[in-house]
Amino acid sequence: MATTSPFGSTNFGLDATAGAAQVATGPGATRGTADTSSEPIDAELVQETKNQIRGLVQEITRLAHSDLAVEAFFDEFLRRVVTAMAAVGGAVWSVEGSGLTLVHQINVAGTDVFRDEASRVAHERLLEQTARSDRPALVPPRSGSMSDGAGNPTHCLVIVAAFPVDEDRRGLIEIFQRAGGGPATQRGYLRFVSQMGDLAADYFRNRRLRRFADQESLWRDLEQFLCEAHRHLDPKSAAISIANEGRSLIGCDRLTVAIRKRGRIRIAGMSGVESIEGRSTMIHHLERLTALVTATRRPFWLRLNGERPPPQVERELHAYLDQSHASAMGIIPLFPPGADSAASSREEPGRGSAAHDRRPFGALIAEQFREAKFGEGLVERVEVVARHSELALGNALVHSRIPFFPLWRELAHVAERIQDRLPRFVLGLIAAAIAIAWLVFWPADFRVAATGRLRPVDRHDVFAQVDGEVEEVLVRHGESVEPGEPLLRMRSTELDVQLAELLGLRNRTSEQIAAKEQLLLRNARLDPVVQDEIAGELEELRQILESTDQRLTLVRGKSARLTVTSPAKGQVVTWQVDELLRRRPVQRGQALLSVVDPDGAWEVELYVPERRLGHMMTALHASDDSLPVRYRIRALPGNVFEGRVVEIQRIAEMRGESGNSVAVRVAVDRDRLPQRHNDASVDGRIECGRRSIGYILFQDLLETIHSQYVYWF
């Protein structure tokens, strides 16, 4: 029956509603009279009662479309039906074959159904007769059939209606109503109970539809789980797939897969976790708990059947629960595939060596955190996942024990692809062999690349010889100078102060000496002791004067060096000398400017990276002459010049972009250089003999491999 309002256009239970209203409002509600039609009835009270009954029926309709459990449904269902009919009590029976089972009841004990054995038998036969006839029945009080002994042994009016549950079972709704009421009222009772049976049938029909939908979804999830579980032949990858896909299939909060590795249980996969932290306290306790459970070869379910685990398992279980806070969990040992089923291996823990060969190789751990027990059907789904996990993980473990299995698998894939493309593969192999032979055996000139500068051989850096401040610059960039020609003048306040102090000291000392000598000449009759004292003072003053003269000579020498001169004939190559040095304080030894001889010999200074130094030194030792060099001046990109190595620096230095490098001096022919600029950038190639073209092209790669890998072996 598909209607949202039982008392609407379908005239659903109007007579029953009226009868129920009469029973609920008339005197029979308290006195149990046989008929209340002669009593005056309040119309408003009847209408209010009808509305209450309609509300109860609507609630029953909603219950029929809910997903309540059977016990909870019939508890709510029967209570509302009895309330709607203002009945004495009621019961719901399950009929399977020839057996009757009481599913739920309200006040059946107060109806004399079980008063004695005869009453019980008559009542059961009445129910069986109604179930066989598949028609609702209304049986008056204390009535029955003489032929089969079926009857109503109670003092109540019994209304019974059957409804289908599934192919093998039927259900019965039995209502114990107060006796009385006219025929129309009783027909309303019968129709109402019959239609309540239809709603109960709708509940089981909807339940079957939901079960079919759940089964369809379960099959889809199972198919996806099987695909992912059997996709991998690596045990760890298979365990991770089983944990993630199996959790969705089971519907638990967390699923963990443990595998026996080198004789110990290890957690290999956990749903929702990318990597397992093996040093975690929780993981450590879970591994120990799983090892203890797998040793029993029996599944362990926490808070499922009330069984208490063995003491050693219980201790480790409490330690793990303190860390994980799981409310319910199950640990199912996984057995390797064999001739016997895994279930038999679990049931028969030990049978000699055969049982030892099929000891659990791992376990499946299902956990619940929000609920204190596993829901309906969850245990069965866990066992299904465990059976398929045994096959998937068992196969993965068997393949993982094959030596070099990943290599053989890749070789098999390569061989399969080769068979499909054999002609092209052969041609490609020949081409590759030719290319490799060309790279290995074809010689070519091997050159070491380096960058550097073009500069004159005769070059001088001019340094400050004393501390001071540049007062005047006498030359400009590009100006020719002669040896000893002043380049710049400096001023030193410190030297001026020293010179003034020394001159003052010398003058004072000279005056003191003259005064002492005059004193001796004027007073010839002085006491000999006094004369000796004056003579000693004169000697001391003369020493001070001599020391002062020496210091004056040094200071005047330093002052003379304040004028910086050219060390050789040449040309000033420092750019913007005046702007660079004027009014600038300088220190002794600081480079001020550079003077080179552009008309003399020129050279190229290349900076060879130290990783290339070995090639150059090997070629130098193998050659009877110096190594030839080809270089290009960046300012003249179209010209290539030649030179020869004349000197190699003995130590490496850090030089800017060149990194740790060695300087190499290269003699060049200045007459072949159309333009000569000091410190012009140069790209050079040092000829280091001949090598295979493959080595020349891939020398960086080969050196990296040798330094990073070959060296350590």
Q: Within 10 Å of residue 280's Cβ, how many Cβ atoms?
A: 12
**346 with 299: CB under 8 angstroms?**
yes
* Residue 332 phi, psi (nearest 5): -115, 115
Say what the pLDDT of residue 338 is. Answer: 65
Domain range 600-712, CATH class: mainly beta
**pLDDT level of residue 9 (50, 70, 90 thresholds):** very low
* Residue 690 phi, psi (nearest 5): -125, 140
Instruction: Name the helix (H) or strand (E) containing 149.
Output: none
Domain borders along the chain are 14-210, 230-349+358-405, 459-592, 600-712
Query: Which has more confidence, 633 or 29?
Result: 633
230-349+358-405 CATH: 3.30.450.40
Residue 197 identity: G
* Residue 623 phi, psi (nearest 5): -100, 145
Three-state secondary structure call for residue 661? strand
Q: Where are the alpha helices (DSSP H) in 230-299?
A: 235-250, 281-296
pLDDT at residue 6 is higher than 70: no
Torsion over CA: 373, 375, 377, 383 (sign): negative
Residue with tokens 């072949």: 672
**pLDDT level of residue 659 (50, 70, 90 thresholds):** confident
Say what the pLDDT of residue 232 is. Answer: 82
pLDDT at residue 340 is higher than 80: no
Residue 659 identity: G
64 vs 82: CA distance, rounded Å: 16
Q: Given this chain, do its domains 230-349+358-405 and 600-712 carry the same CATH topology?
A: no
pLDDT at residue 573 is higher than 80: yes
pTM (predicted TM-score): 0.42
Q: Within 10 Å of residue 231's Cβ, how many Cβ atoms?
A: 13
Supply 252's token pair.
């638990």
Angle made by CA atoms 385, 383, 280, in degrees to the nearest 5: 70
14 vs 57: CA distance, rounded Å: 12
If you average pLDDT over residues 247-272, what whole number do you get? 89
pLDDT at residue 654 is higher than 80: yes
Angle made by CA atoms 577, 580, 586, in degrees to the nearest 5: 110
pLDDT at residue 36 is higher than 60: no
Say what the pLDDT of residue 641 is. Answer: 92
pLDDT digits (tens, 9 = 90+) for 692-713: 888 888 887 877 787 777 655 5
Q: Where are the alpha helices (DSSP H) in 230-351?
A: 235-250, 281-296, 311-324, 342-347
pLDDT at residue 30 is higher than 70: no
Give me the count of residues in the chain.
Answer: 713
Q: In the chain, what percentage of residues exceed pLDDT 90?
A: 14
pLDDT digits (tens, 9 = 90+) for 582-625: 889 999 989 888 898 888 889 999 999 888 888 888 888 888 78
Q: Which residues, in sequence order, are CB contacts of 104 under 8 Å at separation 6+?
A: 71, 74, 75, 78, 91, 92
pLDDT digits (tens, 9 = 90+) for 48-85: 777 877 888 888 888 888 888 888 889 989 998 998 88
14-210 CATH: 3.30.450.40
Q: Which residues, in sequence order, are CB contacts of 246 under 8 Å at separation 6+?
A: 225, 229, 255, 257, 271, 364, 385, 389
What DSSP designation does 38 have? T
375 vs 544: CA distance, rounded Å: 114
**275 with 243: CB under 8 angstroms?**
no
**pLDDT level of residue 8 (50, 70, 90 thresholds):** very low
19 vs 380: CA distance, rounded Å: 49
According to DSSP, the residues that pair with 175 across neighbouring strands are 90, 159
pLDDT digits (tens, 9 = 90+) for 348-387: 433 333 444 568 999 999 998 887 777 667 888 898 899 9
